Amino acid sequence: MFDKLELIVKRYNELMQKLADPSIYDRQKEFKEVSEERSNLEEMVETYQEYKKVQNEIAQAKEILNNESDLDLKEMAKEELSEKEVILDKLIAKLKLLLVPKDPLDDKNVMMEIRAGAGGDEASIFAADVYRMYQNYFKSLHFKSEVVSVSKNAEGIKEIIVNVSGSRVYSILKFESGVHRVQRVPKTEAQGRIHTSTITVAVLPEAGEIEFVLDMNEIRIDVYRSGGSGGQSVNTTDSAVRVTHIPTGTVVAIQDEKSQIKNKDKALKILRNRLYDQKLREAREKEAQERKGQVGTGDRSERIRTYNFPQGRLTDHRIGLTLYNLEAIIEGDLHHVTETLITHHQAKLLGSSDDSISANNIGRNSNTEEDDD
């Protein structure tokens, strides 16, 4: 581990020298790449420097204990040694965690898709509730969100697609993908019976055109007249767009905008992200066969969470987390849930990386789940 840390310090110093050269500002692409790499290494280097400082202080305290005759000095050195050894253990644990391979997608913005599932109108109502929950959560994190497409019914939301941007968005939201189950008495229920409904949430990392090239020869684009509410242009112009990826049969239809060009751009962006996500999930599934135990991030059919309103309870089935503050959570206080998921994921990665720490890796996943009422 320490040989690797020395190499990282060496690389960090090289990057600092590059940034000290004024001419790098004329090469903006290189400047951005060097700055990002330096930023990614900074915490690790600073922690390692602190580790070496504490290690040196421990050596000095031991020297006093072994060679000093003054009892007061020896007692002070003994106390300092005890304190510094605790700090050193914490620094070693932190260094191990920092050396765990990071998901290269963590810094990406995302496209979040929320869809009503089983449960009829109640599923649509819950989809709207969950969308509001995420909106409030995004605001607390200073994330920016923009609705790309939305399909509503009289009760709630059938489907909504949202772009979310900010600092390390995917790292925080990636564990939200899966089936969310609600247990409560619906607004539409006259008998007061508890119903169980579901929605699905998909969190897709944003795919850049360089990272994932969409072959337009494999795309079929159809235009047609918009339907539903939308103003005077509805049913009068061919503004709605349907794009189909022929090899996979993936279809995206957009009619939100009056402009056919804008609808086409939106549809192609959604399609690119879905195909990119599919490619990533296939890679994760292959890796999951070799190493299991991490929090799932890719299985759209996995029931990940239950929102039980009669008991005021939220349960995340992947890690056995149960909280009894559902009222606050559904209003956007998701911090403890997401932070616990991230901590669990890091602990699993750390456990699997003690023997071998690689420089490049993709986040792991698993399908552990416990039963719920």
**pTM of this structure:** 0.64
Query: Do 313 and 182 share a domain, yes or no?
Result: yes
270 and 226 in a common domain:
yes
Tell me the per-residue pLDDT of 207-232, one tens digit each, with 9 for 90 and over: 765 456 778 888 898 888 776 544 44
Res 256: pLDDT:
78
Containing domain of residue 48, as a range?
2-99
Mean pLDDT score of the chain:
82
Residues 79 and 169 in one domain: no
| pLDDT surpassing 70 at residue 295 | no
Please check whether residues 210 and 329 belong to one and the same domain: yes
Question: Could you read off the pLDDT of 96-126 as tens digits, one per residue?
Answer: 877 877 777 888 899 999 999 988 889 999 9
Return the percentage of the chain with pLDDT > 90, whole number.
40
pLDDT tens profile 34-49:
998 898 899 889 999 9
Q: Is the predicted pLDDT of residue 17 greater than 50, yes or no?
A: yes
Per-residue confidence band for 74, with pLDDT thresholds at 50, 70 and 90: confident
For residues 30 and 178, membership in a common domain is answered with no
Q: Pick the residue with more confidence: 237 or 204?
A: 204
Whether 90 and 134 share a structural domain: no
* Res. 369: pLDDT tops 90: no
**Domain CATH number, residue 301:** 3.30.70.1660
Do 154 and 265 lie in a common domain? yes
Q: Using DSSP bridges, classify how beta strands 313-316 and 321-323 pair: parallel, antiparallel or unpaired.
A: antiparallel
User: Based on the domain organization, do 28 and 114 belong to the same domain?
Assistant: no
User: Which pLDDT score, from 0 to 100, does residue 356 have?
Assistant: 39
Mean pLDDT of 8-29: 91
Q: Which pLDDT belongs to residue 331?
A: 96
Q: Give the pLDDT confidence of 149-192 residue by residue, as tens digits.
A: 898 888 899 999 999 999 889 999 999 999 999 999 987 676 77
Q: Does residue 178 sit in the same domain as residue 235?
A: yes
Number of domains in the chain: 2
Pair 92, 185 in one domain: no
Reported confidence tier of residue 301, pLDDT bands at 50, 70, 90: low
Residue 304 and residue 264 in one domain: yes
pLDDT (0 to 100) of residue 302 = 73
Q: Is residue 372 part of a domain?
A: no
Q: What's the pLDDT at 105?
A: 81
Q: Is residue 79 predicted with pLDDT exceeding 70?
A: yes
Among 76, 99, 122, the domain-final residue is: 99
Given this model, what pLDDT does residue 237 score? 64
Given a cut of 70, whether residue 284 has pLDDT beyond it is no
What pLDDT does residue 357 have?
34
Structure confidence at residue 227 (pLDDT) = 66
